[in-house]
Amino acid sequence: MADIISSKTRRALQESYVSHSVLREIRNDFDDAGVELGGLSPGRVFSSSRRSLVERYYQSVDWTSPNQVRQVLDAFESHLNRLEDYNTGKELERLVMYLKRDGLLYSKRKINFTPDDIDLIGMEDHKLGIDLTQLRINIDRIKKTIEGDPALAIGSSKELVESCCKAILTEKGKTFSTKADILELVRQVADNLNLILAKVPNSKKGSSSIKRVLGSLANIVQGLAELRNLYGSGHGKSPGHEGLSPRHARLCAGAASTLSTFLMETSLKDKKS
């Protein structure tokens, strides 16, 4: 799962603490927000005690957990509030820009997710913690990244399907392997959903056909995610190398949105019946 707050934003806030805060303010911000103090990796040395202190708090955080990230955001709010009070406008604007890139809005002295940035990970935090409205918001969020960052759109599409499947299985009280890939998760969800109405003739045969369709959609998402890792614009690529294009991202996002919507609608229908 992707981090909710990017490493660039975390680093920007850390350096801002170093330049604009004292140790007492850093401790108060994170302690008051309920963030635990962690340890540093062996051999890591920091030139500043303030930088080291912020890093120790960072080390205790699971950056994919909405609850833990919310605590960190509460700490960041205190820092931004001080910058606002001390009229450090340029520094405040710089940090607000970093937060905005992560889908976070600083307004009226509070940091919140923007309306179209409901996090994918949050789907797993509650029993079936996603409804069709939220699902469509998540899909819309992915579509907005297709042109500018195809690799991100493809990765997010994969996470969308995985999170949707895990939410459905959790709601049904089913266990699943933490190492299960999309294909296994979709197969398990399909096995646990009443995909074909019992009154339809040859329902068993129809169910098999539906599962093949779902498997094909899952294969598209899984395959493009694997291609993204192989041919994306990441580490070790030669100059001029091009990753997957927006048309690949559109295919992946389309398959993921169709698959996730169908599974969610079927699950909600099954829940009501």
DSSP per residue, 244-273: --HHHHHHHHHHHHHHHHHHHHHHHHHHH-
> Which of 119, 111, 115, 122 is closest to 75 using CA atoms?
111
| One domain for residues 202 and 258 | yes
| One domain for residues 142 and 263 | yes
Backbone phi, then psi, for 111, in 5-degree steps?
A: -110, 120
What's the CA angle centered on 148, arms 142 and 152, to 5 degrees?
45
pLDDT of residue 160: 87
**Would residue 2 count as lying in a domain?**
no
Write down which residue in 113, 133, 152 finishes a domain.
113
Instruction: Provide the residue range defining the domain that includes 27.
Output: 7-113
| One domain for residues 108 and 157 | no
| One domain for residues 257 and 161 | yes
The domain tally of the chain equals 2
| One domain for residues 103 and 147 | no
Write down which residue in 67, 83, 113 finishes a domain.
113
pLDDT of residue 241: 43
| One domain for residues 265 and 138 | yes
| One domain for residues 145 and 267 | yes
| One domain for residues 173 and 192 | yes
Q: How far apart are CA 38 and CA 64, in angstroms?
A: 17
> Which of 70, 114, 119, 122 is closest to 96 using CA atoms?
114
Model confidence pTM above 0.75: no
Tens-digit pLDDT profile for residues 186-233: 989 888 887 655 445 556 667 778 878 888 988 998 898 888 777 644
Write down which residue in 96, 113, 130 finishes a domain.
113
Q: How far apart are CA 20 and CA 88, in angstroms?
A: 9
pLDDT of residue 11: 96
Going from the first residue of the chain to its last (273 residues), give the mean pLDDT of each consecutive group of 10, the final group possibly shorter: 84 96 96 92 82 95 85 95 89 94 87 54 40 70 82 86 87 86 89 65 68 86 83 45 78 90 83 63
